[in-house]
Amino acid sequence: MNHLEEKKDGVKEDCIFNNLQNFHTTQNVCCDIMHDLLEGICRYDRAKILNHLIYRELNRRIKYFDYNQHVDFGNRIPPIIETHIKKGYVIMSEAEMLSFVVYFSFLVGDLVDKEDECWRFYLTLYDILHFCLQDEIDSTELIYLKYLIKEHHELYINLFNEKLMPKYHFLIHYPKIITNVGPLNTLSSMRYEAFHKIGKTNAHIVTSRINIIYTLAIRYQLKLFHRFQCNTGLRNNVLVGKTIDEDKFDSDYFKTVSNCKLIHLSECDPSIKAYEILMIHYNKLMYI
């Protein structure tokens, strides 16, 4: 009878992790936007969009696109390969795909009919990615995210006449997961994968395959030792632009800001000066 029960519900046995306190596999659900979106749904969607909208002109614009290392997202976009479009998915790294989705409207927006349903499909994908990468998200945005996911799936089926793949189904559960565990940006394995790339690079460089794990571990330790010795990557690298103006916390400006409840003057030392600056560069991001 047991083998019949397995075929009935697809469950072979109870997961051993369910014995842990405050954990159950059906309740503590998690996801990874890097594999589900950037290396999953985005790959398939981008191939369909490119095939429908534009291809040759896109590669030319990708080649000459002017990147700004201080404010741009992800990595430089590689040229689109025609065979990828024919196969129905575009192969890129997660950082390259992030750049591609974010800057696609800048690359070919002037060539596309804004009323085109495929363009609407791209904008829906962009909005979904935007909400999934946010550090904070409220209940109203969650309701809108549910609507976007529903619209995205309906457009995919209607435009391309294809069935949805499993990763598209995962996307349906994202609003519930965000409600239970918070923003998905903190759950992504993107940073761990980026660190994993160092190990893969070293593994290709090393010619010996005898105890390769030991060799890589030594290289990691030597790199860490070098950082300690040179004090690189350990400093708080904050670059501040030119000072435009300076003021004190007891000025009329800060009293107005305090009335808007943006800051509390009681928590500020009146002798400390506040500065207005052109920009601040922190953690590889520029704030203007």
Phi, psi (rounded to 5 degrees) for 76: -60, 135
Q: Which residue ranges make up each domain of the chain?
A: 33-186, 190-230, 238-287
Q: What are phi and psi of 115, to 5 degrees?
A: -90, -5
Angle value at C-alpha 98, between 151 and 122, nearest 5 degrees: 30
Structure tokens at 101: 């989705």
- Of 48-57, 166-175, 256-265, where does mean pLDDT reach its minimum? 256-265
Rounded-to-integer distance, Cα 43 and Cα 113, Å: 22
Q: What is the DSSP letter of 249?
A: T
Residue from 131, 58, 71 nearest 100 by CA: 58
pLDDT beyond 90 at 150: yes
State the pLDDT confidence band at 137, using cuts at 50, 70 and 90.
Answer: confident
The average pLDDT across 47-61 equals 72
CA neighbours closer than 13 Å in the CB half-sphere of residue 114: 3
User: Above 70 in pLDDT, residue 283?
Assistant: no
Q: Which amino acid is at 214?
A: Y
Report DSSP letters for 69-89, one per residue. Answer: TTT--SSPPPPPPHHHHHHT-
Report the Cα 2 to chain-centroid distance in Å.
43
What does the pLDDT read at residue 262?
46
pLDDT for position 185: 83
Asked if residues 175 and 142 have their Cβ atoms less than 8 Å apart, the reply is yes
Rounded CA-CA distance 131/112 in Å is 24
Regarding predicted confidence, which is higher, 227 or 282? 227
Q: For residue 244, what pLDDT is reported?
A: 56
Q: Are strands 285-287 and 280-282 parallel, antiparallel or unpaired?
A: antiparallel
Strand spans (E) along 197-249:
238-240, 243-248
